[in-house]
Each structure stands twice: as C-alpha cells, then as structure tokens.
Amino acid sequence: MRTFLRGVTPALLAGVLIATALVLFQAPAPVRVLAFAVLALAAGLSASRIVRGRAGLTDDDADVGYSLPGVVVLVLMLAVVLALSVLGIAIDTPGIAWATGASAFALVVVAHVVAGPPAWPTAPRRALGPVLAVVVLCAAVAGAAAMRPAQVERYTQLSVDETPPSVGGGERVSLGWTLLGYGSALPAAEPPVEVVIGGRRLPEVDAETGAVTATGVQGAVDQRRGTVAFTAPDGAGIYDVHVKVGAADWSEIVVRLVVNQ
C-alpha cells in the first residue's frame, strides 16, 4: 500500500480528479484548457501502456511507442464526442469533462493492473510523445475557441404603459407603448405601427413615435416611446388587440380591450 501511494498512479488519479473539478466548476479559460490537456494526457499515457503491456518498448518499436500517447489523445477526444452523441448527452463542457475524466480515471486504473506501476520519464525522448500531445491539444482547443463566432442576441421588447380602460362601442382608445432594444441600438427611422383587432388590420390608426433615447432598464441598449390611437369596435365584448411596432414579428404585444354596450 505504501509503495502504491508513493507511485505515479496516485498522482495521475489525483490529477484527473482535480482537472475534472476545475473544468466543471468553471475555472478561467486558460486553466480549463490545461485541465483538459491533463485529462487527455493521463488517458493517452495509460492507454498506450495498456497496449504495450508489461513488456515495455523494444528498440524496433520505440519510435511508435513514444508517439502512441499523442495518437491516443486525439482518438480519445473523438471517441468521447461520439459516445456522448450516441447516448443522447449534451456535447457541452460539463458533458465532455465528465466523459473524459471518467475515461482517464478508468484507463489509469486498468493500466496500473495490466502493465504495472508507471514510472516517470527518464529521458527526453520518452517524454516527447506526451508533450507533443499536450501541445497539439492546447493548440487545437485555442484555435477552435478563436474561430468560434461571438453570439450576441439582438431583439426588441414591446410593452404598453397601462392596461386600456373599458370603453363604449365606437369610442377612441389611446395606448402608450415602450420599445426596448437589446444587443444593438434601435433604428433611427420611425417604425411602422399597426393595430389588429379580430384578425382585421385597422386602416385608421394615429401613431406618434418619439426619438430613441437612453434607458435605465438593465440589459437594454436604448428605448423608444410613443402612443397609438384607434377606434374601438361597435359591438360589446372583450377583444384581443394586437399592437405591433416595427417590422419584427416579436415586436408585438396583445392587450385585452373591454367594450361596453
């Protein structure tokens, strides 16, 4: 037991657990890249030892054996993504971290049983394959992150200032509205204002739109306020009034209008 605790295997297992935790708990991006490299490296070294077994390397297969961990690292990452896809698990940072960490932990344990306790590299040549694998993996992750386009949600949100009061048939109704812009500034041009009641677009609508101004709403870039006035239906009832400001489909709000006899 003491020999095991002083060996390389516990260090590899501890490195796998720490690296997995760093990724899952959202460490800074550079730290997560190094953590993934540690996971893949531990798995690659262990898998290559399982293939070689206890016999180790001979002079004939030394070059292949030294580069084997790097090849296994790349194959492991592909296998992890494919396995997550087949199992229907989300291919995101937590999913890849769990799968890679579990694979690395299992490979370290199996390699310890099959090939015996590992040893630290005693020559630069023996460390060339693992170091090359880490460099390739970090470069690939950094390149993928650099090529990933920044996603900015751009949309508008429409609201009315107050619920319209009950009115009589044929009376004039006036509604104040506020349009908020998120992700980008609202267009400088005045937006079209449209009112639809009972599936029929009202032809006579009086709209007033103010200028784009700053807003104190959290997350919003700016705002535009205005009013719209229209004639209520003649018949008594409860009507859904669709007020649309601008050309976007989501810049629309539905309010209930009560028309009395």
Residue spans per domain, the chain: 2-147, 155-260
CA 62 and chain centroid, separation = 42
Place of tokens 């760093």: 22
The answer, yes or no, to whether residue 223 has pLDDT greater than 50, is yes
Close Cβ partners of 22 (under 8 Å, ≥ 6 residues apart):
31, 32, 35
Phi, psi values for residue 185, rounded to 5°: -70, 150
HEC string for the chain:
CHHHHCCHHHHHHHHHHHHHHHHHCCCCHHHHHHHHHHHHHHHHHHHHHHHHHHHCCCCCCHHHHHHHHHHHHHHHHHHHHHHHHHHCCCCCHHHHHHHHHHHHHHHHHHHHHHHCCCCCCCCHHHHHHHHHHHHHHHHHHHHHHHHCCCCCCCEEEEEECCCCCCEECCCEEEEEEEEEEECCCCCCCCCCEEEEECCEECCCCEEEEEEEECCCCCCEEEEEEEEEEEECCCCCEEEEEEEEECCCCCCEEEEEEEEEC
The confidence score (pLDDT) of residue 249 equals 66
Confidence class for position 216, pLDDT limits 50, 70, 90: confident
The answer, yes or no, to whether residue 62 has pLDDT greater than 80, is no
Mean pLDDT of 241-261: 84
pLDDT, tens only, 74-87: 777 777 778 878 88
The answer, yes or no, to whether residue 2 has pLDDT greater than 60, is no
Confidence class for position 142, pLDDT limits 50, 70, 90: low
Whether the predicted model's global pTM rises above the 0.85 cut: no
The confidence score (pLDDT) of residue 178 equals 92
Among the residue ranges 16-25, 133-142, 179-188, the one predicted with the least confidence is 133-142
The confidence score (pLDDT) of residue 25 equals 82
Is-contact 133 69, C-beta < 8 A?
yes
The confidence score (pLDDT) of residue 1 equals 44
The confidence score (pLDDT) of residue 165 equals 76
The answer, yes or no, to whether residue 129 has pLDDT greater than 70, is no
Confidence class for position 146, pLDDT limits 50, 70, 90: low
Alpha-carbon distance of 39 to 5, in angstroms, equals 20
- At the second CATH level, the architecture of 155-260 is Sandwich (2.60)
